[in-house]
Structure 1
Amino acid sequence: MNEKEIIRRIKQGEKALFETLVKEYYQEIYHFCFYKTGDAESAYDCTQETFLHVIRFLDGYTERNHFRAWIFGIARNVCSDFFRSRKFVTMEEEALEGVQEEEEGYRRAEMRDSVQAALNRLPEMQKDVIILRFYYDMKLKEIAAVVGAGIPTVKSRLKQGMEKMKQFLGKDGDLQI
């Protein structure tokens, strides 16, 4: 059964099929929320909230956009609401403190933390585009649907965001403060 059929049947009352959508998208949405919040617990909360919104608003969903773009748009809005509704303290220092891995693994974790810290320094509009493009391999058209902007705007945000990331990370990939 394809996604359109599942959504149609859920709208017709077969609510048990919602679990199929959750299984399909949960990990992607969780990881997206993690990249946005930088914290596992906050990402979990935002993921749960995203799926609550999907349940609440699925009847209003129409096939103009792809479902994937629609659900990522909801996740993006939920994460934005999260930052507006709470004083959020980034967990970068805590993430760096307890890392006890072998040298190669340590370097990878350090680089991942540097990239996350650099992402956190970007304006939300650039951060969203970079996450969707590089972590979720979305095409520019899909990203435009998620963020509600035109393709030229998405290209511009992507280019500007990448330039800032290069500045933030420097030559060695270490965060420049």
Structure 2
Amino acid sequence: MTREDEIFRKIEQGDSGGLDELVSLYYPEILRYCRWHTPDQATAEDAAQETFLKAVRHFDRYVHKGRFKAFLYQIAANTCVDMWRKKKPEALPEELVYTEREFDRAEQEADLARLVERLPEKQREIVLLRFAQDLTLRETADVLGLPLRTVQSRLRAALKYLKKILKEGGETDAK
């Protein structure tokens, strides 16, 4: 029995702490997902909170089959799209104090983000779910509502494209 199954059993038995446990279990993952899909940290936090509010609001309609995580990611994806529509990205000041190591890491992460942004949307979403969110291929397929083989082939194509770009010198300028 998974941790999720145990929590759902508590909820079914009327344990009021079950929902809190469910939020505690998935909030960090959902926040990380939202951070990749919104313009800034504050919007990501709002989107993550809204995701859980929507999940709780529609909880009575959810039938537990061990895929609550996929249910949450679907809500988060739709919520992030809504947040992007409502809030135009603003230029935020960069942190001024970086150690050399922090600066190099931030620069590498920015380069990687620019590379991933060059992928077609369908491939980009799979790469982000698989690597930024650390979902398995099966979980990624569940979140996106796609067959596992489709996810595998899109991921393979995305990685092939990223490898090609890196071999060509890693230019990360936008298309």
TM-score class, shorter:
0.7 to 0.9
**Which residue identity is paired with 1:88?**
K
Contact 1:29–1:72 (Cα < 8 Å) also in 2: yes
Shift of 1:168: 5.7
Q: What is the Cα deviation at residue 106 of structure 1?
A: 0.8
- Name the CA shift for 1:32/1:175 in 2 (closer, same or farther; >3 Å): same
> How far apart are the structure 1 equivalents of 2:100 and 2:168?
20
Indicate the percent of aligned positions where both proteins have the same amino acid: 35
The AA in structure 2 aligned to 1:86 is: K
Amino acid at match of 1:105: E
Q: Matched residues in 2 for 1:140 and 1:117: separation?
A: 23
1-side partners of 2:18 and 2:112: how far apart?
37
How far apart, in 2, do the equivalents of 1:44 and 1:24 lie?
Answer: 16
Measure the CA separation in 2 of the matches of 1:152 and 1:132.
16
Q: Provide, for residues 41-75 of structure 1, a one-character-per-residue CA deviation record: whole Å limited to 9, x for no partner.
A: 11101101110111012222223352222222221
2:85 counterpart of 1:88: no
1:66 correspondence with 2:63: no
Question: AA paired with 2:109?
Answer: R
**Is residue 155 from structure 1 mapped to residue 152 from structure 2 by the alignment?**
yes
The answer as to 2:40 corresponding to 1:52 is: no
User: Is this contact kept in 2: 1:38–1:90, CA < 8 A?
Assistant: yes
Greater mean alpha carbon deviation, residues 16-25 or residues 163-172: 163-172
Which sections of structure 2, spanning at least 5 residues, go unmatched? Answer: none
Deviation at 1:175, TM superposition (A): 2.1
What's the TM-score once normalised by structure 2's chain length?
0.81
Alpha-carbon displacement from aligned partner over 1:103-154 (angstroms, at most 9, x marks no partner)? 2221110111122233334343222211111123322111110001111221
Q: 1:99-110 residue pairs with structure 2 within 5 A?
A: 99-110=96-107
Is the CA contact (8 Å cut-off) linking 2:5 and 2:66 kept in structure 1? no
Alignment of 1:146 with 2:147, yes or no, is no
Choose between structure 1 and 2: higher helix proportion. Answer: 1
Structure 2 match to 1:98: 95
Q: Is the 2:54–2:75 Cα contact (8 Å) retained in structure 1?
A: yes
Note if 1:129 corresponds to 2:145.
no
Deviation at 1:15, TM superposition (A): 3.5
Cα distance change on mapping 1:139 and 1:48 into 2, 3 Å: same
Q: Structure 1, residues 70-94: CA drift from partner, whole Å, max 9, x if none?
A: 22222122212323x3253265xx4
1:34/1:43 contact within 8 Å kept = yes
Letter in 2 for 1:89: P
Which of residues 105, 108, 112 is equivalent to 1:111?
A: 108
Q: Which runs of 5+ in 1 are unaligned?
A: none
Question: TM-score, structure 1 length as denominator?
Answer: 0.80
Aligned residue pair count: 173
